[in-house]
Every structure is written in structure tokens, then in C-alpha cells.
Amino acid sequence: MYLEHFGLRDHPFRLTPDTDFLYLSPGHQEARNVMLVSLRSGEGFIKITGEVGTGKTLLCRTLLNELGDDYVTAYLPNPCLSPNVFRTAFADELGVEYTPSHGMHRLMLRTTEKLSELHTAGKQVVLLIDEAQAMPRETLEAVRLLSNLETSKTKLLQIVLFAQPELDERLGTRELRQLRQRITFAHTLCPLGQDDAKAYVGHRLAIAGGHVQMLFEPKALNDLCRAARGIPRLLNILAHKTLMAAYGKGARRITRSHAAMAIHDTEETREQGSASRPALQIGLALGAVASASAGLYYFLRTVP
């Protein structure tokens, strides 16, 4: 919508976890290092936790891209599965050949054989589970049992859990203490500080062909980063809305008024008692652009 207006070649603040836009803050870099070092040591049962929107899925996708040919990866983005469906999904990710008539015991034998074959071929197998806090307790137990698969010297499978802090609460219970003891490395992603939040916005704009100092007035950027509380997803939402607001008014640079419209238009950052008017302002601004475009189109069609 606004790419040409601001001279951008790509959307800088899309919500999908695009690894091309990865910004490695010190906390995200540390999490990445923890994962890579532990997996390379062959002792990986790793837990990465963080609040909603802190970048866990993007780190997961980045890890998938960075692991080289020595690794075989299995990725489960939606693990709210029963234990048997979980085991089947894992087998499918590994390319295990089986038929439903084989039963679960036969499926696990085939899966173990596949892991042994990959180990003999010099491959390390890594299972990455996103949104692990959503897994039923019985399925978390199935994950623990998978981690038992090993030779006399090494594990046949390494596991990385990405989860919201609710997983830590669940692991603190007596029922899951055995799984908790298996986790050898853990890291918690924290919200970005103010300086990192500004750098994050600037980084994504630069990747998209823009420049933060040319597009954002400093106070507007301060307001936006403060309202987002260091949450990357909120930064994306607010920055996108500020660009929409400025575009709707024909402005080339984001001011504090544009930032205020975006902040009040977003439920997570909205101030009490000011829910309706800013949202209407953005809608009216964009509506005016649409009406003007339609009018110009009609004029060009009717001019002889």
C-alpha cells in the first residue's frame, strides 16, 4: 500500500517470521549461541522461553536455516497433539515408511531404526517444537521418552523446545520433574531495551530499503518504542500503523501524531478511554486516499 510512497522495496514490518529481517539483539544472539553450541556438543535438550511476540518462532526458523548438511531436522509448529499423533507426526518428518496397520509399537521401532541409520550415516537429528507450552502433559511425557533413544555413547535425537513462560510453570510440577531434569540448556528471551527497540526498527527499515532517520522523527520513534514495551511483534504492528497513518495523510515523515494514532489504534497499547477516535482517524485518512485514487481513475477514464 505505502511502499512506493516511502520508497521501500519490501514490507518492513510484516508479522510473518521472515528470517531475512532477523535482528539479533544481545539476548537473541545469546539464545542462538546457546542452541548452536549445545547442539554441536551432541547433548542438546534445550528450552527457549519468552513472552508472546518476543521472537521465538523467528529464532526457530533461523536455526532451521543455519543447521548444515550434518543435521536432519524435524519441525513441529503446532504440537497440541495426542501422544500417538505426535509420534506419527515426528515419524512423518523423518520420512519413516510405515502403514497404519503396523500399530504404534511397530511405528516406534521403525522410527528408532531410522534414527540409528541416520546416526550411522553421520547425521545428527534435531527435533524442534514450537509453542511447546500447548502440549498436553501426556505428550510432553512422550517427548521425554523420545529423548531416551541413544547408543552407548551418544544420543540419537536432540530436542529444542520453544515456549511461552507457561511451560516453566508446568515443568515445576511433580508430574513433569523427570522432563525438567532432562533439559540441559535453557535461555529466556527478554523484551528489547529502548536502544535495541530503536535499532530493531531501523534494521528492518534498512533491509526494506528505507532509513529510520529519514522516515521517523526522533520523538515519534521514542513514543512508538516505549509503547511497544520492547516486544518485537508490537513494534511491527505499531510501526506498520504509523506508516499507514502517514501515508493516509500524504506525509513523507512519521510524526508524534502519527505514532499516537497507531498507539491508540492498537488494543495492546491503547490508553484507557481513547479507543474509538484514533482508529477512526486512520480509517478516514486511508479512506480519503482511496477516494482520491478512485476519483483520479474516473477522471482519467472520462477525459477525451
Asked if residues 299 and 275 have their Cβ atoms less than 8 Å apart, the reply is no
For CA atoms 278, 282, 284, 285, the dihedral sign is positive
pLDDT given for residue 100 in this prediction: 77
Asked if residues 68 and 124 have their Cβ atoms less than 8 Å apart, the reply is no
Residue 291: partners with Cβ closer than 8 Å, 6 or more residues away: none
SS3 state of residue 123:
coil
What predicted TM-score, i.e. pTM, was given to this entire model?
Answer: 0.85
SS3 state of residue 158:
strand
Per-residue tens of pLDDT for the chain, all 304 residues: 789 999 999 999 999 999 999 999 999 999 999 999 999 888 779 999 999 999 999 999 999 999 989 999 999 998 899 999 999 999 999 999 888 777 899 999 999 999 999 999 999 999 999 999 999 999 999 999 999 888 878 889 999 999 999 999 999 999 999 999 999 999 999 999 999 999 999 999 999 999 999 999 999 999 999 999 999 999 999 999 999 999 999 999 999 999 999 999 998 887 633 444 444 455 545 554 444 444 433 333 444 4
pLDDT given for residue 281 in this prediction: 56
DSSP 5-71: HHT-SS-TT-SS--GGG----HHHHHHHHHHHHHHHHT--EEEEEE-TTSSHHHHHHHHHHHS-TTE
Structural domains present in the chain: 3-16+193-302 (no CATH), 26-189 (3.40.50.300)
pLDDT given for residue 41 in this prediction: 85
SS3 state of residue 147:
coil
pLDDT given for residue 43 in this prediction: 76
pLDDT given for residue 259 in this prediction: 94
Closest CA to 49 of 67, 66, 35, 64: 35
pLDDT given for residue 300 in this prediction: 35
